[in-house]
Structure 1
Amino acid sequence: MTDSASPVRRAEHWACAAVFFVNGFGFASWVSRIPAVRDALLLSEGQLGMALLAMGLGALCSFQLAGRGLGYLSARTLTLATGFLYCYALPQPVMVGSLPVLALTLFLLGAGSGAMDVAMNALAVEVEARQGKPIMSGLHGLWSAGGLCGASLGGLMAQHGVTPQNHIIAVACALAVVLLLARPWLPDLAAKPAETGPRFALPEPAMLGLGAIVSCAFLIEGAMADWSAVYLKDTLGTTAAKAALGYAAFSFAMMGLRLAGDKLVARWRAASMLRLGNAAAAVVLALAIGTQHPGLTMLAFVLVGLGVAVVAPLVFGAAARRSRHSPGHGIAAMATLGYGGFLLGPPVIGWLAHLTSLRIALLLVALLAAAIALLSRHLDEPAPQAAA
């Protein structure tokens, strides 16, 4: 690489990081105003859960379409197209007046977010190859940083009485401007043949343990994103501003550990990190739910974020190394199970809350963290087989 090319590579890296930041910021901005939308439409936990399921279904439907789109459009073009679609769809759910329309707008938002997720990760693979060094963990850390900033700003907007409509419209416009600024620096490589696009894959029997870990972790992420603010506001009686900080604390913990994850894994065993982190999260979250103490609950949210932060990079890496078919097949299998968990998390919590209470329903998150701790041994690399 020449000296003149180095600034270009850095610009490409930061432009790609900006795209990840935009996606995380927009998602957290919507999450921070879920309690306000719920109150405005007088929704029960079950009704809210059904509406949130529509968002997950939209994302799931868009994955295959976006994957096939990469066979006809470059990752840069598809990232920008889906990014602007995402910005357009972002304010729609806070501008509706009925549950059916909310579900429809959330389906469209989920489709835009899911398609952008596929496209920007494909773009990140290209940028990483051009950089000649691993950057994926850092990019996902920037997604978490966007989540932290979006949730924190949402709390401030709620505290100062800014309506969800004005807040989210302003956010969507600002994020579109960021995409426009990043556009000239994103590399535009040729599209891959359509038949090579990602497909849904099932894990091999030897990797079912890894699949269970990633399913639990993504289910936790979905539940925390959509229900942490509602739990703090409705069950613990905090203000809307403090309720939005619950997801901010979760995102901050995820961001910090993801940015430091590569160095920590090099020093400690991955299985040990997952075991200790998720065991602590399960215990403290169960105590917080039992005592209903807001401060302890915020600490529990931080520990839950630390527990699941590095699951995706660790599990995806292990699956890529162990797959008997190909690294891509291993990653695709884990992604399918992971997004399935993310899809199921919010509505499952909503249905349990409708049957019992949100307090009892969130115990599922503690149980899932405990399950990850028990399953963490599957991250240990299998012993090499002796030669015949």
Structure 2
Amino acid sequence: MMDIALPLPMRAYRIAISVYFFVAGLTFSTWASRIPAIQVKLQLSEAGLGAILFALPAGLLISLPISGWLVSKFSSRTILIIAAILYPMLLVPLGIASSVWLLAIGLFFFGASSNLLNIAMNTQAVSIERMYGRSIMASFHGLWSVGGFAGAIIGTLAVSGGFSPLIHFCIIWAVTAMLAVVSFKYALQEEPGAGSDAPIFAKPDKALWILGLIAFCCLVCEGAMADWSGVYFHKVVESPAAYTTLGYVAFTGTMATGRFVGDGLANRLGIKTLLTISGIITTVGLLIAVIFPHIISATLGFLLVGFGVSSVVPIVYGIAGKSTTMAPSVALAAVSTIGFMGFLIGPPLIGFIAEASNLRIAFTVIAVLALGTALLSRIIKK
């Protein structure tokens, strides 16, 4: 392993990389906050919008192995600054897209650049966590959630203030570029695996497959909650129209909170124990919402789901980045590829099952998959 030069206090590196996680969350949430306006602008139907939006995860998934190779080849520090400026910049083409094809192409590259930033900043975070000698990965992902919340608030203000998506996106690009440039000098100069001749496509070993499957089980739940929580509250809970988003708000709130306390729990309980508890809490939360489909009980259930999933992906990334069989960035890309399939599969899986039976059965199946997080965590090697 290469030694990491530390001309600055460890806390400086931690704060700097936290800024990049904030930038990533702010950028994604900024796009999400203006989807309705862009749908109206291009006169897209619900089905048409759904088809176009698939371009973003497609770009993310296809770019995963390439991103890992680029970070390993040119160092996470180099890719970090490039991606942190490129990702928000690609909001601008989305704001000026005049056709569905231009929007789809823009979303594809927007997703690819988001993944490039994700792998680079997580590789840096793994190295910083190694320096600390204890779990701190969840707090980095907590800053992503804070950035997402900030983006939602700014988006709401931009809409109410009558700002067009293009003006809104340009402002966010300027702010994030400034944050990225200011924080760049505090990024790590080098880390284990940087500059290696790692292959673009690397076959994960057994340990990485297990980590990927744990992420898969968790991200199935996250994808389901993102796309179906509002529908569940509307059709199953039969909540008033003003409260259909209550479940998703509860989920995101405890997910963000859980990421800030997750590191302390991981250090106190141990990673395997926390992953096991997380899987059980997620399963219990989903089953509460299924068995007792009332507004209070379902909200409580979704609160538990948010807390349950909060630390899983950060912990899995932290373990993957310490792989002894391949460079950290390539290992992260391998685990992310497996895990992200869950985020893609979860929403349509619920739709197919709900069409064949009902939403309560569909959420029960997701609860069973969530239990996989607990079961698989027991076979992780210490």
Q: Distance in 1 between matches of 2:93 and 2:244?
A: 22
Does 310-319 or 180-189 show the bigger shift? 310-319
Deviations 1:82-135 (A, max 9, x none): 111101112433433433222111101101101111111222233334555543
SS of corresponding position for 1:195? coil
Note if 1:141 corresponds to 2:142. yes
Question: Could you say which residue in structure 2 is the equivalent of 1:116?
Answer: 117
* Separation of aligned partners in 2, 1:52 and 1:350: 18
**Could you tell me which residue of structure 1 aligns to residue 127 of structure 2?**
126
Q: 1:19 to 1:327 in 2, by over 3 A?
A: closer
Q: Deviations over 1:116-171 (max 9, x none)?
A: 11111222233334555543222122122222222233344445554434333322
Change (3 A) 1:360 1:34: farther
Please state how far the C-alpha of 1:49 moved relative to its aligned partner. Answer: 2.9
The change in CA–CA distance for 1:320 and 1:102 in structure 2 (over 3 A counts) is closer
Q: Distance in 2 between matches of 1:375 and 1:152?
A: 32
| Residue number in structure 1 paired with 2:309 | 308
- Match runs of 1:145-294 below 5 Å: 145-159=146-160, 161-189=162-190, 192-196=194-198, 199-202=201-204, 204=206, 211-225=212-226, 249-265=250-266, 266-267=268-269, 269-270=273-274, 272-286=276-290
Partner in structure 2 of residue 87 of structure 1: 88
1:378 aligned residue (371, 376, 379): 376
Deviations 1:265-284 (A, max 9, x none): 43483355224421233134
Q: How does 1:33-52 map to 2 (within 5 A)?
A: 33-52=34-53
Distance 1:156 1:217 in 2: 32
Q: How many equivalent residue pairs?
A: 370
Determine the structure 2 residue equivalent to 1:28. Answer: 29
User: TM-score, length-normalised on structure 2?
Assistant: 0.77
Aligned alpha-carbon RMSD (Å): 4.1
- Report the Cα offset of residue 296 of structure 1: 6.8
Amino acid corresponding to residue 195 of structure 1 in structure 2:
D
Confirm or deny: 8 A CA contact 1:30 1:90 kept in the other structure.
yes
Q: 1:207 to 1:26 in 2, by over 3 A?
A: closer
Deviation of 1:197 (Å): 5.8
Distance in 2, Cα, partners of 1:201 & 1:127: 26
Alpha-carbon offset, residue 36 of structure 1: 3.5
Alpha carbons of 1:283 and 1:129: their partners in 2 closer, same or farther (altered >3 Å)?
closer
In structure 2, how many angstroms separate the alpha carbons of the residues matched to 1:29 and 1:271? 31
Amino acid at match of 1:311: V
Contact 1:249 1:302 in 2 (8 A): yes
Q: 1:207 to 1:366 in 2, by over 3 A?
A: farther
Tell me: CA distance 1:317–1:124, structure 2 relative to 1, closer, same or farther (3 Å): closer
Q: Structure 2: how far apart are the matches of 1:259 and 1:383?
A: 25
Q: Provide closer, same or farther for how the CA distance between residues 40 and 217 of structure 1 changes in structure 2, counting only shifts above 3 A.
A: farther
Distance 1:331-1:92 versus aligned 2 partners, 3 A rule: closer
Question: Residue deviations 1:299-350, cap 9 Å, x none?
Answer: 55443322211222444567789x996796876653321022234445x279
Give the equivalent residue in structure 1 for 2:3.
none
Contact 2:279 2:309 in 1 (8 A): no
User: Match of 2:274, as an amino acid?
Assistant: A
Identity %: 30
1:319-330 mapped onto 2 (5 Å cutoff): none
AA matched with 2:104: A
- Where structure 1 has 5 or more consecutive residues not aligned to the other structure, the ranges are none
Partners in 2 of 1:9 and 1:166 — Cα distance? 37
Aligned-partner residue type, residue 287 of structure 2: V
Q: In the alignment, is the contact (CA less than 8 A) between 2:123 and 2:321 conserved in 1?
A: no
**Closer, same or farther: CA 216–253 of 1 in aligned 2, 3 Å:** same
Q: 1:183 to 1:375 in 2, by over 3 A?
A: closer
| Contact 1:53–1:344 (Cα < 8 Å) also in 2 | no
Map 1:319-358 → 2, pairs under 5 A: 333-345=334-346, 348=348, 352=352
Range that drifts further, 153-162 or 16-25: 153-162
User: Residue 70 of structure 1: SS of its match in structure 2?
Assistant: helix
Alpha carbons of 1:188 and 1:37: their partners in 2 closer, same or farther (altered >3 Å)? same
